[in-house]
Amino acid sequence: MKLSKGVEWGVHCVTLLAQVEGDATLSRRMLAEQYDLPEMYLAKQLQSLVRAGILQATSGPKGGFRLAGGPEEITVLDVVEAIDGVANPFVCEEIRQRGKANASPEECLRPCGINRAMSAAYQAWRSSLRSVTIADIVRDLPESVRSRNRARLSTG
């Protein structure tokens, strides 16, 4: 079970944008430079974040990205699912209905207990990520990191 590498990039970029003051934006290039990320790959994650309504993209020579809403309203789950998609990592193929052990349709009216256990675990994972906001992540940064980000990002 593995999340795509873009998840780490996405959460870091959104966390950084949450530290930009006012209406200022950061360009794709600036975002890539902050963490030494390959700009062309990062472009895909940024597009996904815009599509999910987490970021706004502005156009023009001074165009870039900013948060579409407040960092208190964006959960880590929102960012993870924008980038990695929304899908239960367990795909039930209903093998209980196949082969010599096959159960009849009447015996399969309820979802399989295995599927239910896997889905409950997936929901526990989602709930946990939903309980942390980007504002929490920012608050949790060392003060020295936050003030450096503030200074650096406001001067461009």
Cβ at position 18, least distance to a copy of itself in Å: 12
Query: Is 18 near a copy of itself (CB under 8 A)?
Result: no
Q: Which stretch binds a copy of itself (CB under 8 A): 7-15, 46-54, 59-67?
A: 7-15
Contact assessment for residue 66 and residue 33, using Cβ atoms and an 8 Å cutoff: no
Contact positions with a copy of itself (CB under 8 A) in 63-122 = 76, 84, 87, 89-93, 95-96, 98-101, 103, 107, 113-114, 117-118, 120-122
Q: Residue 18's closest CA among 49, 44, 60, 43? A: 49
How far apart (Å, rounded) are the C-alpha atoms in residues 108 and 7? 37
- CB nearer to a copy of itself: pick between 60 and 113: 113
Cα–chain-centroid distance for residue 20?
19
Q: Which stretch binds a copy of itself (CB under 8 A): 49-57, 60-68, 136-144?
A: 136-144
Query: Is 54 near a copy of itself (CB under 8 A)?
Result: no
Distances (CA, A) of 117 to 36, 87, 122, 141: 40, 15, 9, 35
Q: Residue 18's closest CA among 78, 61, 86? A: 78
Q: Which of 6, 9, 54, 74 lies at the binding interface for a copy of itself (CB under 8 A)? A: 9
CA torsion 133-148-13-75 (nearest 10°) is 0
Contact positions toward a copy of itself, by CB under 8 A? 1-3, 5, 7-9, 11-12, 15-16, 33-37, 76, 84, 87, 89-93, 95-96, 98-101, 103, 107, 113-114, 117-118, 120-122, 124-129, 132, 136-137, 140-142, 144-145, 149, 152
